[in-house]
Structure 1
Amino acid sequence: MAPKPFEESADYVQSLARGLMVLRAFDRELPSPSLSQVAERSGLSRAVARRLLLTLQHLGYVGSRSRSFFLTPRVLELGYSYLSSLDLTELAQQSMEQLSQRVGESCSMAVLDGSDVVYVLRVPVRRVMSVALGVGARLPAFATSLGRAILADMPEAELAAWLRGQRFRAYTPHTIRTASALKAELQRVRAQGYALVVRELEPGLCSIAVPIHAADGRVVAALNVGMPYGEEAPARAVKQTLPAMRETQQAIEQAIRRVGWLPHLAMKNAYG
């Protein structure tokens, strides 16, 4: 007999889950939703959404203006504990700044979170995407060089489970849109040690990424450089940008090994 879903267990706190659903109803496209919009996005009734919004407002995470609601800066506390405990960003900051200056392009570091990559560090030079990217920004892992650099290290069984949970969306005519095609691409990424994504997420974007290994050898993040697409951009990314990225990758991983950084240690420090 299959075990019951955790949501049906006595340990599941429905009110907490619903509160987080309400917080996730806010985003760049809808920064100040109405009560009805929050209820619709979170899949909750208006009455439940209202009580949760008022509670979050009382706690200082949500504000209200007329008939709309907005997040307050206090929500940053929820992510800052993770980022401050990670220490990975501190180890990588200087090396990434030097890389960005050297190649003249923006560079980023991200970690995998479910179906997405989440930016934990970014050194921007110019905007090459239609969306503004910063710490905390999320992009679909399957369509990004950052995501593929991380996914390529996944054990086969874990990757198979991850692929079963994906919905492939064609962001451009060039986007890989099937599990089999992505799996073949990940094999190529694993063999060559880097991921190159050309016009798959946005028509005018080319990006290249390399994995970042923790002290125990696991891939825990990825480093990428993004650049405007041009006919020569892919070749330039591999021939000119990648060697500089390799040096940065090595510098960050040496810093990680020097301090013995491991993801589970960072989480232990954060939560006791």
Structure 2
Amino acid sequence: MNERRTPVAEKSTSSLGRMLDVLDLFDDNRLTRTAEDIATELEVSLPTGYRYVRMLVEAGLLQRVENSHYTLGPRIILLDHYIRKADPVLREGIPVMRELVQQTGFDCVSSGLFGTQLLDTHREAGSTPAALAYGRGRPRPLFQGAAPKVIVASFAPAPLHKLFDARHAEIVRCGLPSEWSDFRRYYAAIRKAGHYLSVGELEPQLAALAAPIEKSEGGVWGAISLVLDTARLAIVDTDRLAHLVKDAARRIGDRLA
């Protein structure tokens, strides 16, 4: 399922902003673009589209591939390296995630909400790494899976209601309550439990148990999840896993505080 994006024409009005909107035109379905595509999508003239492309290529944010097509450029790889090093959740969380993997043998994944997109930011592989369809940087559905649910459960009533109204069709499509009162109770129960176990919600063969990394001032930094094959659920103590994941998330939160 692809994340719903705001049309680029609604995002920016400045010339610089419109040029940077070019980067939002690339996704899993459109990995390359022509200058003509870009001009059409941004609703600018063809010369302006070519100018945007030229400037982004010079900055290393785009690169030319074949048949006059362009894709995201190598500078983004460099920037991602700096993002990883500067990310406080990864800096404080990776050592704790590694301990959790050693304790359980399962993969441990950190996730966060960036704007309206739920992204995995890091994965520590277990003894038998799971085959995950999602990885760092690929947007995940917001209403399926353990990590998204514990993050959304942290929302205060007003932003949760706004999310409910804005993405109601997607919520219903994902099998969640269609009425606001039921939807609110659903997430309140997850918040009270402090964790969530998803079984086959995102990928049929996988289960995940997640807990939120809470901020001292309210809200969350993100979530960490243990990922395992659904077949393993019959032979593992999920209550103990929940305790371990919640404790690890709490320790990361304490370090960040």
Give the TM-score category using the shorter length. Answer: 0.7 to 0.9
In structure 1, the gaps of 5 or more residues are 1-6, 258-272
Residue aligning to 2:24? 24
Residue aligning to 1:51? 51
Q: Match for 2:224: what amino acid?
A: L
How do residues 1-272 of structure 1 correspond to structure 2 at under 5 angstroms? Answer: 13-38=13-38, 42-45=41-44, 47=46, 48-66=48-66, 67-79=68-80, 82-125=83-126, 126-129=129-132, 131-134=133-136, 136-166=137-167, 168-169=169-170, 175-176=175-176, 178=178, 180=180, 182-230=183-231, 233=233, 236=236, 238-257=238-257
Q: Give the % identical residues.
A: 20
Residue aligning to 1:3? none
> What is the deviation of 1:144?
2.6
Separation in 1, partners of 2:124, 2:58: 35
Quote the RMSD (CA, aligned, Å).
3.1
After superposition, the C-alpha distances for 1:130-182 in whole angstroms (9 at most, x for unaligned) are: x2412x232122223112112212111121112222254489x9743746454
Separation in 1, partners of 2:171, 2:158: 25
> What is the deviation of 1:56?
0.5
- Partner SS for 1:60: coil
> What is the deviation of 1:252?
1.4
- Partner SS for 1:142: coil
User: Is residue 175–residue 201 contact of structure 1 (8 Å, CA) maintained in 2?
Assistant: no
> What is the deviation of 1:45?
5.0
Residue aligning to 2:3? none
- Partner SS for 1:56: helix
After superposition, the C-alpha distances for 1:21-69 in whole angstroms (9 at most, x for unaligned) are: 31122234433333455456x4545714333222211212111123221
Q: Match for 1:133: what amino acid?
A: G
In structure 2, the gaps of 5 or more residues are 1-8
After superposition, the C-alpha distances for 1:79-118 in whole angstroms (9 at most, x for unaligned) are: 5555444322110111101212322222111221233212
Q: 1:198 to 1:254 in 2, by over 3 A?
A: same
Separation in 2, partners of 1:81, 1:210: 26
How many aligned positions are there?
243
Separation in 2, partners of 1:179, 1:234: 33
Q: 1:170 to 1:250 in 2, by over 3 A?
A: closer
- Partner SS for 2:249: helix
Residue aligning to 1:262? none
Separation in 2, partners of 1:114, 1:238: 32
- Partner SS for 1:248: helix
Separation in 2, partners of 1:236, 1:46: 60
